[in-house]
Structure 1
Amino acid sequence: MSLDFGAKSDEKWRHVSLSTSHGSYQKDDQAHLVGHAMTAPLAAYIPGQTGLSDADQDALTDLYIRGTPANTLRAYERDLIYLTAWKAAAFAAPLNWPEGEAVALRFIIDHSRDLTEADPQDPALTAADALITQGLRKSHACPAPSTLDRRIASWRAFHRMKNLASPFDAPLVRQARAKARRAAAKPKAPKSANPITREVLEAVLATCDHSLRGLRDRAILMLGWASGGRRRSEIAGLMRQDIDLKDYAKDGIIWINLVETKTTQSGKTPKLVLKGRAAQALAFWVEMGDINDGPLFRPITRNDDPLERALSPDGIYQIVQKRVTQAGFPKGFATPHGLRSGFLTQAALDGAPIQAAMRLSLHRSLAQAQQYYDDVEITENPATDLLG
């Protein structure tokens, strides 16, 4: 059995082929997921309403692609592959549009329990084995609630793209999801085991020598921390034209123009400022690396020469991990998100107003940013000394 999702208008998105009979899937680069999710005629699901023309369908597909962050599109890709494979393994059938409530309920039940000790004849175990064979599932353990939430969110998004009601909005299915979330509730693991506070950052920066690689890594670490705790995808996505040096010679200030972030829309992201040592490190990297256009941060060859292509977000991850370990901290001590959490933690330690810190971190939620301040402020709470 083969399920083919064809691309329509965007050359960036290619064909996905899932072969359930062979227990494997093949993927050429990225799938045209938005196109697949939207190409079925709307008239087939909305009686009496005229379907979109091919030109309108192409335009709408292109609009979804351009208006959706790249990371979200990649998540859609992974989730569509997983959902299609699961439906084939559990029901020997392709996804339906709209999907049935019974299928949605079964999906929640199958992914809300540990199958390690399940009966060998359990259908959920059989489906899980098929997914493990295809490399889409790691083990029989209960998936993380956040993973299940994301896949359900993607499934619902695919229904919205077709202008269809989602089965996950049915009362019984919603109640089952709520119960499953509560049953699997556990403390949320931080994205970084430890925040990279100023003291930690100084130790990490000390590992950066005067080679081109060292200059690059120092600029990455300082920009990532001092500009508000940038995400690794934001650092990797910076281009030379996003860095404005017009005020550097006079005031020692560098302006950073992020196109968009996880919490801001394209063209509506406020300018960020880099000052002091961080600005110096970035300006020195631009000069010594001869970065006149193109990607700001790039891989470095063994001969200490920068390549033309950009560093990937995973490359940023590897750099942070390597430098943290070289600084003498245990393996896994901190990830790139430690730059973000460390910036906010240090702001709280230094008594900076949370609104000022959020102006740089671009947190959309005050409650989320407040968590870092709460961890610091509780140690200064007089009520913690009542027993002396």
Structure 2
Amino acid sequence: MTQVSTPPFAPPALSVQDIEALNDLYRRGTPENTIRAYERDLVYITAWKQLRFDEPLVWPERHECALRFVLDHSRDLSEAKDGAREVAEALIAQRLRRALTCPAPSTLNRRIASWQAFHRMKNLDSPFDAPLLKQARAKARRAAARPAKPKSRNPITRPILEQLLATCRGTIRDCRDRAILMLGWASGGRRRSEIAALMVEDISLKDFAKTGIVWISLVETKTTARGSTPRLVLKGRAAQALVHWLEISGIKDGPLFRPISKADRLLKRRMTPDAIYQIVKRRLRLAGLPEDFASPHGIRSGFLTQAALDGAPIQAAMRLSLHRSVAQAQRYYDDVDIAENPATDLLG
């Protein structure tokens, strides 16, 4: 009996039209934040390889190049005297790298994940899937392990939020910022990207006149897929602030929150996530607090911290925050519990 050998798998030959359609599918099916991260990482990786090897990227990438990338980004180069430091200094000069110190493990992991994604897009095997590379990355993570730093210096709990809201008085900008802060906090601690992405069509006022409830439909979040995010509810003052914003702004469709010009003119485009960051900084300053007192993530951590302080079950808080991991949400509860634990007062 003749043995028939199976030919090796080869990527399908795609026409120009197929490639264009596939690229369009990737763009429409990938979150904007992820696309921006891919773009930044591709620029960095391309510059790094050109400086390190004097070569452009190749597909699939060579294993030795991938291994060198891991090694160069898994140690402090401040005292190094080899080519890795020269490359790092050149990247710093190009504003692609911040310092010679070892990058955070999360930064290295993200760049490698982007590199792997580029290979998948081209239907190619990634060198980072090789056993040696996997082991090197595992050792790098262990060697660079460090205590996790909070994303916000302080949580924006209810008393802090009230201080920020007190700075929002009567202008259209104040009205918008009040609605952003209250929606972001009361709907479960929304991320700034989620707030900036909201459209008027995502807001339902059908029950507001009768019950005072506003329904929010997020297209997707960091922890939920497109189309599978449960509806969120907004009640009380937060719902009223949002409805007031819609009435004052006259917005009927399109982006829910928009930039406002220096002449107090409402613009048509949507706000960027960085604009939410600037709003939080400005309100902190107006409230007499340091600008670095908290970041926009303080809205998220503040909601969960306040839920713990008020004795809300963690499962109830997670239904709004949309945390997938109980362990991750539990950290905010643990921070409160340890401070309120009677055992901490044994010495008096």
Q: Do both proteins adopt the same fold according to a TM-score greater than 0.5, normalized to the shorter chain?
A: yes
Q: Name the structure 2 match of 1:92.
A: 54
1:57 aligns with 2:19: yes
Partners of 2:11 and 2:123 within 8 A in 1: no
Distance 1:276 1:117, change over 3 A: same
1:112, distance to aligned residue in structure 2 (A)? 1.4
Letter in 1 for 2:220: E
Q: Matched residues in 1 for 2:318 and 2:338: separation?
A: 20
5+ long unaligned stretches in structure 1: 1-45
Cα distance in 2 between the residues matched to 1:48 and 1:235:
44
Question: In the TM superposition, what is the alpha-carbon distance from 1:252 to its structure 2 partner?
Answer: 0.8
Cα offset, 1:262, TM superposition = 1.1
Q: Is 124-133 or 234-243 further displaced after alignment?
A: 124-133
Instruction: Please tell me whether residue 81 in structure 1 is matched to residue 51 in structure 2.
Output: no
Matches within 5 A, 1:337-348: 337-348=297-308
Identity among equivalent pairs (%): 70
Q: CA deviation at 1:351?
A: 0.8
Counterpart in the other structure of 1:249 = 209
Match 1:222 to one of 169, 174, 182: 182
- The Cα offsets for residues 29-77 of structure 1, whole Å up to 9 and x where unpaired, read as xxxxxxxxxxxxxxxxx94636233143333333222221111111111
Q: Which residue of 2 aligns with 1:231?
A: 191
Q: CA deviation at 1:250?
A: 1.3
> What is the CA–CA distance in structure 2 between the aligned matches of 1:136 and 1:342, rounded to whole Å?
33
User: Is 1:195–2:155 an aligned residue pair?
Assistant: yes
Task: Using the TM superposition, give the Cα deviation of residue 165 of structure 1 relative to its aligned residue in structure 2, in angstroms.
Answer: 2.2
Selected match of 1:114 from 76, 91, 97: 76
Alpha carbons 2:198, 2:256 under 8 Å: kept:
yes
Partner of 1:204: 164
Instruction: Please report the TM-score for the alignment, with normalisation by the length of structure 2.
Output: 0.93
**How far apart are residue 199 of structure 1 and its match?**
0.6
Shift of 1:127: 1.4
Query: What's the Cα RMSD here?
Result: 1.7
Question: Which structure has greater helix proportion?
Answer: 2
CA-CA distance at 1:387 after TM superposition: 5.5
- Does the C-alpha gap of structure 1 residues 324 and 48 become closer, same or farther in structure 2, counting only changes over 3 Å? closer
1:315 aligns with 2:315: no
- Greater relative contact order structure (CA < 8 Å, 6+ sep): 2
Q: Deviations over 1:276-316 (max 9, x none)?
A: 00011111111011111221111122332311111111111
Cα displacement string for residues 252-294 of structure 1 (whole angstroms, at most 9, x for unaligned residues):
1111111111111121111111110001111111101111122
CA displacement, residues 212-265 of structure 1 (integer Å, 9 cap, x when unaligned)? 111111111000000100111111111111111111111111111111111111
Alpha-carbon distance in structure 1 between the residues aligned to 2:52 and 2:18:
35
Shift of 1:153: 0.9
Aligned equivalent of 1:105: 67
Q: Return the alpha-carbon distance in structure 2 between the equivalents of residues 213 and 60 of structure 1.
A: 41
Greater mean deviation of Cα atoms: 371-380 or 339-348: 371-380
Length-normalised TM-score, structure 1? 0.84
Judged with a 3 Å threshold, the aligned counterparts in structure 2 of structure 1 residues 216 and 355 are, in CA distance, closer, same or farther, namely same
Q: Distance in 1 between matches of 2:92 and 2:11?
A: 42
2:83 corresponding residue in structure 1: 123
Q: CA deviation at 1:197?
A: 0.2
* Equivalent residues in 2 for 1:1-388, closer than 5 Å: 47=8, 49=10, 51-54=12-15, 55-119=17-81, 122-385=82-345
- Aligned with 1:309: secondary structure? coil
Count of residue correspondences: 341
In 2, Cα distance between the equivalents of 1:49 and 1:140?
Answer: 41
The amino acid that maps onto 1:93 is E
Per mean C-alpha deviation after superposition, the further-off stretch among 198-207 and 378-387 is 378-387
One-letter code of the match for 2:178?
R
CA distance in 2, matches of 1:114, 1:305: 49
Aligned-pair distance for 1:381?
A: 3.6
With 230-239 and 172-181 compared, the bigger mean Cα shift is at: 172-181
Range moving further from structure 2, 289-298 or 273-282: 289-298
Alignment partners' CA distance in 2, 1:369 and 1:192: 15
Equivalent position SS for 2:106 = helix
Paired AA for residue 32 in structure 2: A
For the residues of structure 2 that align with 1:319 and 1:385, how far apart are their CA atoms? Answer: 39
- CA distance in structure 1 between the partners assigned to 2:300 and 2:104 by the alignment: 23
